[in-house]
Structures are given as C-alpha cells and as structure tokens.
Amino acid sequence: MTTLYVDNIAPNLQSKISAPNLQLPSGSVIQVVNSTAAQSVSSTSQTLIDTGLSATITPTSTSSKILILFSTGTIQKSTDTNLRTLVLLRNSTLLVAEGVGFAQTELYTGSTLQQRIQGPSASFLDSPATTSATTYKTQFSSDNSNALTVMYGNATSTMTLMEIAG
C-alpha cells in the first residue's frame, strides 16, 4: 500500500476542465429551480386556463431528465362544481392530464354551501431532450359553468424543477 502525504492542495488554474463539462453520475441533481404563485385564479369555463404556476429551467444536457414537483393551493368550489381537469405542460406539450378527486371540507357561506379542498400535489419525470429554456406550467378547468377558484385566498402554490443527470 502506498501512502500519499501532502502539505497543501491547490487548484490547477490551467486545467481545461470546466464545471459544465464534468460528467456527473446518472441520477445526480445538476440544478434546482423553484417557483411560487399566490394569486387566486377563478374560472367558469370547461376550457383549460393557466393557474399562474410555472417555472423555467435550461437543461445542461439533452440526456438530462427534469423532475417536476408541484403543489396547488386551496381550491374553492360551489357545491355543484368540480375541478374537471388539472394538467401539466412542457412549453405547449401536454405531459399529464387527469381528472382529479380530493378530500374536501364543506363550509356554509350564507345560505350557499361552499367547499374548499386542498389542492393536489404531484410529481412527474420528464425527458425534454433539449438544452433550450423549457417552461413547465399547470392549467385547470371546471366541470360546468359555476365558479371554481384555485389558490383561494391567495394560498401559495409551488413548483420545483430538478435537472437530473441522465
């Protein structure tokens, strides 16, 4: 066995290796981007509209994957209205679209039953295959013409994007 003794270690400032060229092991987190939104958005439409929650990341490699974690703040709905769909998009490409069901709390406001439900939290692993700036966002729609509000009372929604080495 050989023993190496050193008094000082200094960086080689003449090195041709720079951080973007380092090869990280697959699964390593390269960068993290976080975004929040807290402005209530209401809709009476069955057409998808933006929730206001989005984040942009520029991958360092085309082989990288992006892990998207998001949580939508409190949703308020009238008794006969439901969140029809919540979707996740990469730029304009639909990644995930599902009907969403939640545990809910019923509240009476005057003579009208209102319901507030904790918004959904979800994750998705994407392979965008690009090194261009990439924006992820959420959209929602109602199941009828009654009002549905996401981020009710300006409840904060969050989105975290993590670039994962491929």
| Residues near 50 by beta carbon (within 8 Å), at least 6 away in sequence | 41, 137, 138, 139
Residue type (1 letter), 29: V
Per-residue model confidence as pLDDT tens digits over 60-89: 999 999 999 998 877 777 665 555 677 889
The pLDDT of residue 121 is 80
The pLDDT of residue 86 is 78
19 phi/psi in degrees, rounded to 5: -55, -45
CA 151 to mean position of chain CA atoms:
15
The pLDDT of residue 84 is 62
The pLDDT of residue 135 is 98
Q: What is the block-wise mean pLDDT of the chain (166 residues), using blocks of 10 residues?
A: 77 56 81 93 83 95 95 72 74 77 49 66 92 94 74 85 95
153 phi/psi in degrees, rounded to 5: 65, 25
CATH numbers and ranges of domains, the chain: 27-164 (2.60.120)
CA 11 to mean position of chain CA atoms:
38
The pLDDT of residue 79 is 60
In DSSP terms, which residues pair with 97 in a beta bridge? 87
Note if the pTM is more than 0.85.
no
CA–CA gap between residue 44 and residue 141 (Å, rounded): 8
